[in-house]
Amino acid sequence: MVPGVGAWRFYIKMLLGSRWLSEGDNNVMRRIRLSVIAACLAVGCGLASAADDVIRTKGSDTLFVVAQAWAEAYDRVNPQVIVSVGGGGSGTGFDALLRGLTDIANSSRRIDTHEMERAMRLQLEPKEHIVGYDALAVYLHKDNPLRAVTFKQLAEIFGRNAQIKQWSDLGIEVPGCRDQRIVRVGRQNSSGTYAYFRSAILGARRGFDLGILDMLSSKDVVHLVEKTPCAIGYSGLAYATPGIKMACVAKDEKNPCILPSVESASDGSYPIARPLFMYAKEAPRNAIKDYINWVLSQNGQCIILDKGYAPVRPMNCR
């Protein structure tokens, strides 16, 4: 039997007010509280809409790791507010926002025309907040000798009716790649990373080619590229590991080739740099407003920098 709203509120308030755990058990306390909220949201007990101390966030996989770090840090700043974090992609976040299932949609792209039209029909005015910047990296296996790639080459690797199918088409030979056939790794179509890469590299009229391996998460993209000598993939900079390499990217042969980094994302020199967003379904108030303001404060921005993204303004985080 699922507890009612009143029971869930009592459990949360009891945990929020508890002081029976020692100082060294603070992490256990946080996990208990977040677990209760997660269970409540999963069974639809209604607590999230009934309680003022729960902020629901959902969406971008690119932002998922930093969103978790923000939620954990904010628990220490304001223990009376619980921030729940869900993924699923930017499109999933916007859908949840417009259905009233989340308070904040995390996104690695701007809200699109169809989503905005839907919001208008619902008499909602989504409020956009840029919370950081990311370099959308092109990932290669560590043994791949390719150093640089242009927009046109990327389009002919990933775009519909792709013309570059083998690494030899780029004048290289990849060790360990038996037939030199390129294995293309991307994201599912609910992902803001998918949408941004398509817009920036393929253009409005050209879609992705058939046969691309669509991963559920950014982490999955990097993991597959790391284990597959023939592979190339795209994902957020923060998911880089020592087992892969990142290509420098140029718009064309006349422009410089720039490596993805926090610095090149901050100054806009990396050609596939992009803003990262939080959206509220209206001008945020009360606890939601306080939370977004904290994310944009030095403390919140130093967290996004620590996780491998660029803050919205220069930060001294030492």
Q: What is the pTM of this model?
A: 0.78
The amino acid present at 196, given as its one-letter code, is Y
Domain assignment present for 285:
yes
Average pLDDT per consecutive 10 residues, the chain (318 residues; last block may be shorter) = 43 39 41 52 46 85 94 95 94 96 96 96 96 96 97 97 97 96 95 94 91 94 98 94 95 95 92 96 90 97 94 88
pLDDT of 102 reads: 96
For residue 255, what is the domain's CATH number? 3.40.190.10
Phi, psi of 19 (to 5 degrees): -135, 25
pLDDT of 17 reads: 36
Nearest to 262 by CA among 221, 314, 199, 300: 314
pLDDT of 174 reads: 98
Domain assignment present for 313:
no
Q: In 166-315, where does DSSP find H-type helix?
A: 192-197, 218-227, 262-266, 286-295, 298-306
| Structure-block tokens of residue 177 | 């790649």
Contacts (Cβ under 8 Å, ≥6 apart) of 218: 61, 62, 187, 193, 235, 236, 239
Domain that holds residue 280: 5-133+276-306
* Count of structural domains within the chain: 2
**125 and 46 in a common domain:** yes
**203 and 269 in a common domain:** yes
Domain assignment present for 316:
no
